[in-house]
Structure 1
Amino acid sequence: MTLLFIVGKEQSLHQPMYLLLCMLAISDISTPTSVVPKVLCIFWFDLKDITLGGCLTQMFSIHVGAMIHSAILVTMAFDRYVAICNPLRYTTILSNARIAMLGLVGLIRAVIFVLPLPVLVSRLPFCANRIIPHTYCDHIVVAKMSCGDITVNSVYALTLVFVTISLDLTLIGLSYRLIIRAVLKISFQKAYQKAFNTCSAHMFVILVSYPVFIFSCLTHRFSHNVPPEVHIILTNLYYLLVPMFNPVVYGVKTKELREKISKYFCRMSSPGVTDI
Structure 2
Amino acid sequence: MEAWVRFSAQSQARERLLRAAQYACTLTGAALSRAGGSSGSLSRLQQLEAHLSLGRKLLRLGGSAEALGGAQRSLHLPDPVLRFCLTLSHLNRALFLACDNVLWAGKSGLLPGLALEKWSQRAFRYYLFALVVNLSRDAYEIRLLLERAEAARKRGKSPQKSPQKSPQPQAEGRIQHLRLQLQLQLQLLLQVLRENPPLLLDLLRNACDLVIPLEKLGLCRSSPGIVGFCGLTSSVLSIITILHPWLKLKP
Q: After TM superposition, is the score higher than 0.5?
A: no
Computing the radius of gyration over CA atoms, which structure comes out larger, 1 or 2?
2
Indicate the TM-score class for this superposition, using the shorter chain for normalisation: 0.3 to 0.5
TM-score after normalising by structure 2: 0.45
* TM-score normalised by the chain length of structure 1: 0.42
